[in-house]
Amino acid sequence: MHPLHAPAAANGSTDRNPDDAQSMRPFIAALAQRGELLRVGEPVDPQFEISAWLAQLAEGPAVQFDSVTGHAQAAIGNLLNSVERIALGLGISRTDMQQRIVSAIEQGIAPQQVAHGACQETVIHTPDLRREVPAPLFFPRETGPYITAGVIFTRDSRTGKGNVSFARVKLLDGNRGMVGIAPNHHLAVMAREAKARGETLPIAVTVGNHPAVLIAAALYLRLGDDELDCAGALLGEPVRTVACKTIPLDVPAACEWVLEGTLDIDEQHDEKLVSEFHGMYEPYGSGPVATFHCLTRRNDALFQIIEPGYYPEHTLIGGVAIAAGLARTLRAVAIPVREVAVGHGGCGRLNAVVSLSAHRAGDAQKAMFALWGSVNLIKNITVVDDDVDPWNASQVEWAVATRMRPDRDMLVIPGGRTDRSEPIKQDGVATKLGLNATRRACDRPDWTRAVPPPDVMEKVAQRIAAQPLANG
């Protein structure tokens, strides 16, 4: 079972809900105990003001908005805005996190249905989404409020295979919302297949999920692989699910909000400009419309918000999941990978750093081509030795500065396939760059690092940790 348990409800009460062990609430309580939760008591406008708070505290504490103008429910954001925070949310050490995610992909735990869930304490049929949901308007050139932390559940009626994924939902009029998915998104593929059978695709958008569900939803798996099994493995137990009220889907019983509806791939809404992970706007055109027949939530529901654009929570939820999938890809082709990083600096999508151990000549290039072939968006790849932390940008830059010879160690591949969100694509392709920043015996007779002895370093580290530094 996940090690974090909530001592109190998020609203400060001492009542415990039996679902809370698999909710995001133990994590929020842990952040509060660590001094990493800021609660904003005064009313906050969902039009741009929530976005401004989250943007200016993008690398700081989680932020809970206790009073959202026009809404009765509180909102919270910036929960998973660092790699360390993601590891804390999963109850995993940072160094063990990637292998645990890889193991969860390979050996999932199937969910378990239960009779009742906290996410269904309040039921609203045919909801007016803009009135009921405290979704923010984030940026001036976007044309409506978005649900950005929505995890979308669906299931193929023919094969019975489930799918869990991320997509933003733009709130339209009444009970309608546009689901922002690309044509190759698994949700779009399943919606087209349903349409070919004369069906509309049932979907459930869940908001306010345990970090394990969020990371699982961001994984790049094969169509038909159920990400909820991976979430169960990350939790160490089956995700407890509850049947939706109006559609044949199950959702995590411990989440905060659920929107139940159907997605019709033939009904499209012109989205105009939308913010993207690289920090600029993209003209994505139209997206399919969902009609939501029912909204359920906890009585004291917290509405989770992920600041879109080039902000660390948006980039790193995807980056941590993508990196784990890439590490698994490299191990499958016998590359001696220690760890892969897809960090915030590279937008959580475009740059990857690969740390190799005991590698041979040619392994760096083999790793580059394996990653480019695995995820289209990966553009720039740096390969380092296993004494470099791939998540530490300063260490990676140091390796490039001290171990790479540009005339020998740069690999430029023009015309590589990419995706629609690549900021400088041309006709669907972009040039790819590989940097081999690993040690070569021919470059130096001695690569020994000038650092104090390891035992003395550890002794002093323990003394530093035990004795807080004086102020002033």
Confidence of residue 90 (pLDDT cuts 50, 70, 90): very high
Query: What are the tens digits of pLDDT across the range 443-472?
Result: 999 999 999 999 999 999 999 988 765 544
Work out the pLDDT band at 223, boundaries 50, 70, 90. confident
Nearest-5° angle of CA 160, CA 98, CA 361?
115
Contact 218, 167 (CB under 8 A): no
* CB 352 within 8 Å of CB 341: yes
Residues in the chain, overall count: 472
Architecture of domain 314-436: 3-Layer(aba) Sandwich (3.40)
**Single-letter residue type at 265:** I
pLDDT of 238 reads: 97
Q: What is the CA radius of gyration of the chain?
A: 23
Domains of the chain: which residue ranges?
A: 18-309, 314-436
CATH of domain 18-309: 2.30.110.10
Report which residue type is found at 83. Answer: V
Share of the chain above pLDDT 90, in %: 88
Average pLDDT, the chain: 93
Q: Whose CA is closest to 76, among 387, 305, 365?
A: 305
What pLDDT is recorded for position 381?
Answer: 98
Say what the pLDDT of residue 160 is: 87
**Mean pLDDT computed over 330-356:** 96
Q: What is the pLDDT of residues 415-438, one digit of tens each?
A: 999 988 899 999 999 999 999 999
The Cα 341–Cα 359 span in angstroms is 18
How far is Cα 89 from Cα 80, in angstroms, rounded to an integer?
8
User: Which candidate, 236, 246, 179, 171, places its Cα nearest to that of 210?
Assistant: 236
Give Cα separations from 85 to 68, 80, 276, 409 (angstroms).
Answer: 25, 5, 22, 34
What is the model's pLDDT at position 1? 52
Residues 6+ apart with CB under 8 A from 62: 28, 31, 36, 37, 38, 76, 77, 78, 79, 81
- Tell how strand 37-40 and strand 62-65 pair up: parallel
> CB–CB of 313/307 below 8 Å?
yes
Q: Are 350 and 331 in contact (CB under 8 A)?
A: no
Please check whether residue 138 is in contact with residue 307, taking contact to mean a CB–CB distance below 8 angstroms: yes
DSSP letter, residue 381: E
Residue 279's region, left for phi above 0, alpha for psi from -120 to 50, else beta, is left
Percentage above 70 pLDDT, the chain: 95
pTM (whole model) above 0.85: yes
CA 73 to chain CA centroid, nearest Å: 24
pLDDT per residue as tens digits for the range 106-133: 999 999 999 999 999 999 999 999 999 9
pLDDT of residue 434: 98
Q: Which run of H or of E encompasses 163?
A: strand 162-166
Pull the structure tokens for residue 443. 């470059």
How many C-beta atoms lie closer than 10 Å to residue 104's C-beta?
Answer: 25
Residue 374 pLDDT level (bands cut at 50, 70, 90): very high
- String of DSSP letters for 100-131: HHHHHHHS----EE-S--GGGSEEEES--HHH
Q: What is the pLDDT of residue 225?
A: 86
DSSP 411-432: EEEEEEE--TT-TT-BTTEEEE
From CA 432, how far away is CA 385, in angstroms rounded?
A: 21
